[in-house]
């Protein structure tokens, strides 16, 4: 409960709890960036006034319970299959707004085929892709996006490309597909980045609202627990290291998407 404090009459509310977020306390670890991005998605849904016609597709991974937090209709996909499920939903419900929320294991490993083909078909869906370079839920194993040299529970000596290949830049790959109209990478690691992330997510939803094609936003994030860093230190580490390998950029934006008022 909030402290019972009288708000002076000459004060206005500048931040309120988003309507599209449930009151549930999340299961995420302290400082987990999922909480920030969930909130941004909810704020965007509120601002666009689309809560009543939005259908979310939940991933497998730490965000598996996202439907407990974002207050819209939801389905729970099998690991990696969210874009296929979203395709099925959107094709039979073209007037609804359909989004997937996926992590790096879900989107960049087991679901690589589904995301690339959904993008290439130009499915009118929105994808929010959280990249924290590790498998959080299963205990900190290597993700496709794990940096070289990064120690995880399945790369005890650090990721070695001779053994485990190279980190994958998924947004750059998705931007190659003809059906994608908007592909961006942002970082929810500081205030400016969080604001830019929200703007990108809004643009990706708007692209769908206007029926333009596939839109995705990759969000660089942290995993304080499995990285073994406190949440603030994890953000600084991510800015320096993830940011160096995964440039923040808009990899694809069509003129129609560019013209959308965000």
The span of 1-9, 127-135, 157-165, 247-255 binding other proteins (CB under 8 A) equals: 1-9
| 102 lines the binding site for other proteins (CB under 8 A) | no
**Distances in Å between the alpha carbon of 128 and those of 62, 132, 154, 247?**
14, 13, 26, 17
30 vs 156 by CB, closer to other proteins: 30
Measured from the CB atom, the residue of 114 and 218 that comes closer to other proteins is 114
Q: How far is the CB of 212 from other proteins (least distance, A)?
A: 19
The pair of structure tokens assigned to 163 is 């053994």
Contact between 11 and other proteins (CB under 8 A)? yes
Q: State how beta strands 54-58 and 73-76 pair.
A: parallel
CA–CA distance, 217 with 182 (Å, rounded to integer): 8
- Residue 130 in tokens: 């959280």
Q: Does 242 bind other proteins (CB under 8 A)?
A: no
Quick count: other Cβ atoms within 10 Å of Cβ 13? Answer: 6
Is the Cα dihedral 89, 145, 257, 74 positive or negative? positive
Report DSSP state, residue 32: -
- Which region, judged by CB under 8 A, interacts with other proteins, from 87-95, 126-134, 171-179, 250-258? 87-95
**Binding track, positions 16-55, relative to other proteins; x by CB under 8 A:** xxx--x---xx-xxxxxxxxx--x-----------xxxxx
Residue from 46, 48, 78, 158 binding other proteins (CB under 8 A): 78
What is the largest distance, in Å, between two alpha-carbon atoms of the chain? 65
Tell me which of 41, 44, 45, 57 binds other proteins, using CB under 8 A. Answer: 57
Instruction: Say if strands 214-220 and 134-135 run parallel, antiparallel, or are unpaired.
Output: unpaired
Closest to 200 measured CA to CA, from 26, 43, 33: 43
Complex with other proteins: residue 91 or 161, whichever CB lies closer: 91
Binding site for other proteins (CB under 8 A): 1-3, 5, 7-8, 10-18, 21, 25-26, 28-36, 39, 51-55, 57-58, 64-65, 67, 71-78, 81, 84-89, 91-93, 96, 113-114, 117, 190-191, 194-195, 224, 230-232, 235
């Amino acid at each position: 409960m909030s402290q019972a404090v009288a708000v002076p009459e000459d004060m206005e509310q500048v931040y309120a709890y988003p309507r599209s977020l449930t009151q549930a306390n999340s299961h995420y670890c302290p400082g987990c960036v999922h909480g920030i991005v969930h909130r941004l998605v909810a704020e965007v849904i509120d601002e666009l006034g689309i809560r009543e016609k939005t259908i979310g597709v939940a991933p497998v991974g730490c965000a598996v319970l996202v439907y407990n937090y974002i207050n819209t209709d939801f389905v729970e996909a099998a690991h990696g299959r969210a874009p296929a499920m979203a395709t099925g939903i959107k094709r039979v419900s073209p007037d609804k707004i359909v989004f997937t929320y996926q992590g790096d294991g879900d989107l960049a490993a087991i679901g690589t085929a589904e995301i690339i083909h959904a993008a290439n078909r130009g499915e009118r869906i929105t994808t929010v892709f959280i990249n924290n370079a590790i498998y959080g839920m299963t205990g900190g194993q290597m993700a496709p996006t794990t940096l070289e040299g990064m120690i995880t529970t399945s790369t005890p000596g650090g990721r070695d490309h001779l053994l485990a290949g190279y980190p994958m830049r998924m947004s750059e790959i998705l931007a190659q597909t003809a059906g994608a109209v908007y592909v961006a990478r942002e970082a929810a690691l500081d205030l400016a980045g969080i604001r830019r992330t929200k703007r990108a997510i809004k643009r990706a939803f708007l692209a769908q609202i206007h029926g333009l094609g596939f839109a995705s936003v990759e969000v660089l994030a942290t995993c304080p627990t499995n990285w073994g860093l406190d949440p603030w230190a994890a953000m600084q580490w991510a800015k320096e290291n993830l940011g160096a390998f995964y440039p923040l950029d808009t990899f694809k934006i069509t003129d129609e998407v560019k013209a959308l008022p965000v």
